[in-house]
Amino acid sequence: MISFLLDGTEHRLEQLDPNTTVLDYLRENLGLTGTKEGCASGDCGACTVVVTYPQGDALSYLAINACITLLATLDGCQLLTVESLARDGQLHRVQQAMVDCHASQCGFCTPGFVMSMFAYRKSNRHFNAHAIETALGGNLCRCTGYRPIVDAAVKMYEPDASDSFSKGTLATLRALEGLRAEPSTPSCAADGRNFLAPSSASALADALAANPGARLIAGGTDLALEITQQLKQFSTLISTARAPELQKVEQSADTLSIGAAVTYEDCAEILCTHWPDLDELLRRLGAQQIRNRGTLGGNIGNASPIGDFPPVLIALDARVELQSKTGRRQVAMADFFTGYRQTALGAGEFIRTIHIPLPHSDDWFQVYKVSKRLEDDISAVCGAFRLRYRAGTVEDVGIAYGGMAAVPQRATQTEAALRGRPLSQAAITDAMNALDRDFTPIEDFRASADYRQRVARNLLQRLLLVHQQGDGRQLRVSQYRAGSPHA
Amino acid sequence: MRKLPDTRPAHSLISGRAGSATRHESAHKHVSGDALYVDDIPEPAGMLYGYVGLSSIAHATLKQMNLDAVRTAPGVMDVVTAKDLPALTDIGPVFPGDHLLAEGKVNFHGQVLFAVAATSQDAARRAARLADVKYEAQQADLTLESALAQEHFVRPTHTQRRGDADTAIATAPNRLSGHFKIGGQEQMYLEGQIALSIPGEDGSMLVHSSTQHPAETQKLVAEVLGLPMSLVTVTVRRMGGAFGGKETNANQWACLSALLARRTGRPVKLRLARADDMTTTGKRHPFHSDYEVGFDDEGRILGLNLKLSGNCGHSPDLSDAIVDRAMFHADNCYFLPAARIIGNRVKTHTASNTAFRGFGGPQGMLAIEQIIENIAQATGQDALDIRQRNFYGPDGRNVTHYGQTIEQHIIAPLVARLTKTSEYRQRREAVRAFNSENAILKRGLALTPVKFGISFTVQHLNQAGALLHVYTDGSIQLNHGGTEMGQGLYTKVAQVVASEFGVDLSSITCTATRTDKVPNTSPTAASSGSDLNGMAARDAARKIRQRLTEFAAEKFAVPAESIQFANDHVSLGAQRITFAELVQQAYLGRISLSATGYYRTPKIHYDRANASGRPFFYYAYGAACSEVLIDTLTGENRVLRVDICQDVGQSLNPVLDIGQIEGGFIQGMGWLTTEELVWNEQGRLLTNNPASYKIPTIGDTPPVFNVELMPDSPNTEATIFHSKAVGEPPLMLGISVWAALRDAVASIGEHRTAPLLDAPATPERILAACDQVRAARGERQ
């Protein structure tokens, strides 16, 4: 049984094809057509809806893409759509702000914007220009040029009073508690296709062993594309979301351990505490809707050559803890990817935890994402650099690139060119030349091989410049934007 | 009706007159999800879902198409191929070449081979992938270069000439020549292509289509089904964006859904998934510009030879008019004493490129702006000075290369105003100072003008109709031939009618555009929507107002001239009654309260054989000043500030106009920066979804974005309330971003080397241009 709330109404489904997306369910089964399909691939935001779930005595509001969220994964949540907001014939203040600011033209993207803004408004007490751009970066509008939408985002904060959702929090919490108190683990099936959500790591291992053909699903932001674009129908999907071991974030004296099913949104803060330069990368990784669903384990597990986080983890000397019915083992992140879309994961094995060594006081970490568009774009090149700089020399170094090979890959010869030397132009020039030996970049519609090689080299040059200048932020165009100190 | 209804209450202070900042008529429905698009219409009983099978090869003979697996797939009710077509098979809108379903040949990757109807969208899509097609591949022309070299054209080359350009260039003190590439652009309407056809009595068909041209959709559906047009009705309440991509490209889906509906006797909805939509439909034409220009030492153009070659794709579609419009805008705001503009319509084995906001104008304009930029570097002067020096002016500098006299000289004062309000000169110094202090990041600044000709260059399209009903409670129903795609046309035209009757805008209901209400309409395109339909609606309103006036003058014995319609009331000498009361009196007095309206644009004419005339009723002007920042190590960039001044005449609705300006600017910016179309060597579009094709996001909106409407600038032509068109012109303001990026690159070489920066200026192209300028600087040193 899968159960969730739509507004205040319980929906309980046993006969559910696990391949059913939230969008199709809303539009086709319920006739709720306010939520639009723009791309069915999580790239335009027209289908944005909001899920809420209990966090302490409050509700968390998360914007997600209905088109690539499988309905079965909403078990135990409340789902809100654009139809949920107006009450008693009165538009919600987010909606009214959009009207007042002339922020819709053709109107097709508008419900998605409204829902992203609503989630932001419910999660943030104050307007922040930079943050709102981060929150709305996954919603495309082809008509307005966005300026009036930003105005509406300011205006939705007037008046700063509670709305009907604040007043209904308690009732929603109670209803969700009721759903979650039910003993059975969520599952559903239709036409012989199953969805399982084991409630512990060992149960997950058992389920994988029992269903050798099954696919693991975490946020599903990548996997669902196989359903909506390639028209695949998975016969068994096993969710990682209900195993508490995979949801944990723990810190020891020297290691940060992040469960494989922790979303980007949920680990961003602690990651940025230790490695402040990750802040920009995490804002630019996918869009808010994706970061709300996508997990660290998923990004690693699908072994995409252009995932943004693997280069970071390789540079940081992270280790991946894998589990199966036969036990657990650890693999160095740098050894995890064995080929294009291939990993060290054996049969019946899943990623349980990512262990990242905490930085020393002499460590310096930089990461650069270079893409055609700043927000919600896949990197042409992503370079991650960890340097331990002691007594004027590079004592230890970890460098990895994404977009430069069939897999995210460590730049071992580049590292060697820097290790044990002062960070000088001579060392960097040697490193740049070594980089040419480390990589033969890929060529695709995002960038040519030449460009990738040129940029990858230039990122080393930038590293030197930033090292010489101290604060490197003014050296990045991405910092020159609304609400930023350099704009 | 036995008893008359209660009349509508009169407003003490009415709102929504022409010129007022009235919100979009559907705004409250957009935000609540209540606005219905075609896919949201409650599905009629028994409805089937159509889908199409696409070719997987660019150029081939179709040897065999085995559709058995498609036919027997679960849920499939019908499959149709070219040989099943009952009547018309080629739906080319102007010239033949667009096969509804491929007939024996495939001319581009993604061409529609067959259509299927099934019991669900999913079943239809799945079935459409099961075809077993045998092709005999043929040599495919996939690039503009190779097709141009072989002179493969979809239509004959056309030339516009003024004076002797060759001699003017040969005798000029300075000469430059070059080659410049301009990329295409995907419309990326958020609502994809869709149509829903419902069969009716006598073989009739009602088609809900997301189309900018309901009359053409109606005509083609009728011809494909072999019906008189009178049996086909096409209706469109709103589109979720169109931008030209639904001017002709909506027809195929309407025709196929109607065909499947006719064959199965059931309603059929056909909606394309995004990747298929982007693969099979046309885009903005990529262009190449080859030029030779002669100029004096101050940068004044003396002679220009310009060859504009548009990649039309496999068929003509609208390309003749699109390449013509590129040629018409190859002067932008600049006087060309001697010029030869050649327009090639190049044929490649790609999807047939089509209308997109600007319709060729942007490409022609970018071509001349690139030449101006090169002249700036060649003469060592600020590009703005070169631009101003070349502006059209009175006295011998006021006739275009196609013989139209420039009557309103707006661009010089407009640019002077923007130069001041944007603080261009001071910021030029600030940019220089920044660049001298920063080795890696460089700023760039540019102020570029726009002059855009308003009218369809195909003369007969410059006409429009409206239908207006006044009901006995005083409420008014308005219908016209224009379609609503987000631009606010319904709002503007309703404002016109509200003004004519002196009633509140809330009295007026705009109904869906339907071919059974207003027939034989033109596409909502060429920025003409409010110019044409506003005038037609005013004509209808004036007819009814005239009847009411004559009736009231007689009934109340007051002179007709003294009767005033204002504030929901009618003043009749000493008396004042509500509009609704007068309407009821008129009804009882047996006065017709319904009227059609009609308009055709005056003054325009063009002799294409001699490439001379007055194709445009008037010009809309604007200018933008953009400041950018580039990273010379990676080519990454940001737009930091944009100032715009746009001439909209006397605005019908300033907030809607500003929306068009801002949105158009950002769309133009996207065209020239991040929006890159990439095909593989087999002619398959690789950037076929928003994951790979990047339109601007909210973070790309400049942090400082000032937009001003040119004050006190009513249209001197008798347009609707002396307003000006605003749909397309602002798109070309985005050229300022491209020019500013180029300026930032040029700063690396102290503006002495002309950067080679083709469009779109992606980070990769910017980095390459930086390297090119750095290399030239190295050689100098």
**What ipTM is given for this predicted complex?**
0.97
Could you say which DSSP state residue A25 is in? I
Positive or negative, the CA dihedral B259, B265, B267, B268 is negative
A248 and A379 within one domain: no
A273 and A143 within one domain: no
- Nearest residue of chain B to residue A459 (CA atoms): B633
Residues 6+ apart with CB under 8 A from A178: none
Chain B residues in contact with A48 by the CB 8 A cut-off are none
pLDDT at B474 over 60: yes
Does residue A113 belong to any structural domain of this protein?
yes
Does residue A309 belong to any structural domain of this protein?
yes
Contact A82 B32 (CB under 8 A): yes
Chain A residues in contact with B703 by the CB 8 A cut-off are 129, 480-483, 487
- Which residues of B have a catalytic role annotated? 728
Per-residue confidence of chain A (487 residues) as pLDDT tens digits?
899 999 999 999 989 999 999 999 999 999 999 999 999 999 999 999 999 999 989 999 999 999 999 999 999 999 999 999 999 999 999 999 999 999 999 999 999 999 999 999 999 988 998 899 999 999 999 999 999 999 999 999 987 778 999 999 999 999 999 988 876 677 888 889 999 999 999 999 999 999 999 999 999 999 999 999 999 999 999 999 999 999 999 999 999 999 999 999 999 999 999 999 999 999 999 999 999 999 999 999 988 777 899 999 999 999 999 999 999 999 999 999 999 889 999 999 999 999 999 999 999 999 999 999 988 999 999 999 999 999 999 999 999 999 999 889 999 999 999 999 999 999 999 999 999 999 999 899 999 999 999 999 999 999 999 998 876 667 889 888 765 545 4
Note which residues in 32-61 of chain B have CB less than 8 A from chain A: 32-37, 39-40, 42
Note which residues in 694-713 of chain B have CB less than 8 A from chain A: 694-701, 703, 705
Q: What is the CATH number of the domain that holds A431?
A: 3.30.390.50
A107 and A12 within one domain: yes
Does residue A221 belong to any structural domain of this protein?
no
In whole numbers, what is the pLDDT of chain B averaged over residues? 97
Contact B696 A374 (CB under 8 A): no
A261 and A139 within one domain: no
- Nearest residue of chain B to residue A114 (CA atoms): B31
State the virtual CA torsion across B631, B634, B635, B639 in degrees, nearest 10.
-50
A138, A142, A380 ranked by CB distance to B189: nearest: A142
A430 and A340 within one domain: no
Q: CA angle A274-A276-A281, nearest 5°?
A: 120
**Widest Cα–Cα separation across chain B:** 94
Which run of H or of E encompasses B51?
A: strand B48-54
pLDDT of residue A181: 83
pLDDT of residue B14: 82
Q: What is the CATH number of the domain that holds A31?
A: 3.10.20.30
Q: What is the CATH number of the domain that holds A260?
A: 3.30.465.10
pLDDT of residue A186: 79
Residue given tokens 């006598």 in the structure block: B202
Strands (E), B415-460: 441-454
Give the separation between CA B419 and CA B438, rounded to whole angstroms.
Answer: 26
Number of domains in chain A: 3
pLDDT at B90 over 60: yes
pLDDT of residue B8: 74
pLDDT of residue B229: 98
Does residue A219 belong to any structural domain of this protein?
no
B117 in Cβ contact with B50 (< 8 Å) = yes
pLDDT of residue B1: 54
Best of A84, A366, A372, A454 to disrupt the B interface by mutation (most B CBs within 10 Å)?
A372
- Nearest residue of chain B to residue A38 (CA atoms): B190
A133 and A21 within one domain: yes
| CA separation, residue B712 to residues B406, B529, B715 (Å) | 19, 23, 10
Q: Quick one: average pLDDT of B256-284? A: 98
Give the separation between CA A359 and CA A363, rounded to whole angstroms.
Answer: 6
- Nearest residue of chain A to residue B631 (CA atoms): A477
Select from A182, A203, A229 the last residue of a domain: A182
pLDDT of residue B707: 98
pLDDT of residue A159: 75
Does residue A266 belong to any structural domain of this protein?
yes
Closest by alpha carbon to A18, among A81, A69, A59, A53? A69
B529 in Cβ contact with B239 (< 8 Å) = no
Does residue A255 belong to any structural domain of this protein?
yes
Tell me the pLDDT tens digit for each residue of B354-393.
999 999 999 999 999 999 999 999 999 999 999 999 999 9
pLDDT of residue A20: 97
Tell me the pLDDT tens digit for each residue of B708-728.
999 999 999 999 999 999 999
Host domain of residue A397 = 363-480
A47 and A23 within one domain: yes
pLDDT of residue B3: 85
Tell me the pLDDT tens digit for each residue of B55-76.
999 999 999 999 999 999 999 9
Select from A335, A357, A379 the last residue of a domain: A357
B301 in Cβ contact with B336 (< 8 Å) = yes
Could you say which DSSP state residue A185 is in? P
Contact B440 A140 (CB under 8 A): no
| CA separation, residue A14 to residues A17, A175, A195, A241, A243 (Å) | 9, 19, 10, 19, 21
Give the separation between CA B330 and CA B103, rounded to whole angstroms.
Answer: 38
Note which residues in 166-225 of chain A have CB less than 8 A from chain B: none
Select from A167, A182, A197 the last residue of a domain: A182
Give the separation between CA A19 and CA A69, rounded to whole angstroms.
Answer: 9
Does residue A92 belong to any structural domain of this protein?
yes
B485, B658, B694 ranked by CB distance to A373: nearest: B694
Q: Which two tokens stand for residue B575?
A: 């008396």
Contact B697 A446 (CB under 8 A): no
A168 and A29 within one domain: yes
A468 and A352 within one domain: no
Chain A residues in contact with B655 by the CB 8 A cut-off are 102
A439 in Cβ contact with A411 (< 8 Å) = yes
Please report which residue ranges of B452-602 form alpha helices under DSSP H: 489-501, 529-555, 579-588
Domains of chain B: 48-139+187-280 (3.30.365.10), 287-457+608-780 (3.30.365.10), 463-600 (3.30.365.10)
Does residue A130 belong to any structural domain of this protein?
yes
- One DSSP character per residue, A270-319 reads HHHHH-TTHHHHHHHSS-HHHHTT-BHHHHHHTT-TT-SHHHHHHHTT-E
Note which residues in 456-475 of chain A have CB less than 8 A from chain B: 458-459, 461-462, 465, 474-475
- Nearest residue of chain B to residue A129 (CA atoms): B703
A388 and A311 within one domain: no
A264 and A341 within one domain: yes
Tell me the pLDDT tens digit for each residue of B491-529.
999 999 999 999 999 999 999 999 999 999 999 999 999
pLDDT of residue A367: 96
Structure confidence at residue B101 as a pLDDT band (50, 70, 90): very high
A340 and A402 within one domain: no
Give the separation between CA A461 and CA B767, rounded to whole angstroms.
Answer: 15
B449 in Cβ contact with B518 (< 8 Å) = no
A393 in Cβ contact with A424 (< 8 Å) = no
